[in-house]
Amino acid sequence: MLGVIMMAAIAIGLRISRTFTGETRGSAILGIALVAGALGGFAGAVITRRTLVARGRAESVDAWWATNLGRAIVIWALAEAGAVIGLVLYLLQGTLVGLVLGGAGLAGRALAAPRRLENA
């Protein structure tokens, strides 16, 4: 998550200093593709979270993680991918949508903290 926060700071700094204007041909299509990619990442994280196996009363935390570790990693990766894609959109086009998607990805990653997943 720290990597996404650092990327956000760099993207905002580059946009403010106007070092990177990001004006490219076909940027509307690129913007739509990036928004779709970010939303797809978020949707994938939500769908994957629903596949987590509930922890039984007698089941230890270690046993639960042994069962669900792969799914948890996929959830984290998809949430962070959505954030990174949103920040790339902001860097390329300077739209507020990119920052919103980046923030949503970070919020999704925070909501998928290990303790929250165990109690899902």
| Angle at the Cα of 89 from the Cα atoms of 40 and 37, rounded to 5 degrees | 15
Give the per-residue pLDDT at 74.
93
Q: For 64-114, write each residue's pLDDT tens digit.
A: 999 999 999 999 999 888 888 888 888 888 788 888 888 888 888 888 888
Q: For 8-45, write each residue's pLDDT tens digit.
A: 777 777 666 666 555 555 667 778 888 888 888 899 99
Under the banding of pLDDT at 50, 70 and 90, the label for residue 57 is: confident
In contact, 109 and 75? CB cutoff 8 Å: no
Predicted TM-score (pTM) of the model is 0.77
The single-letter DSSP state of residue 19 is S
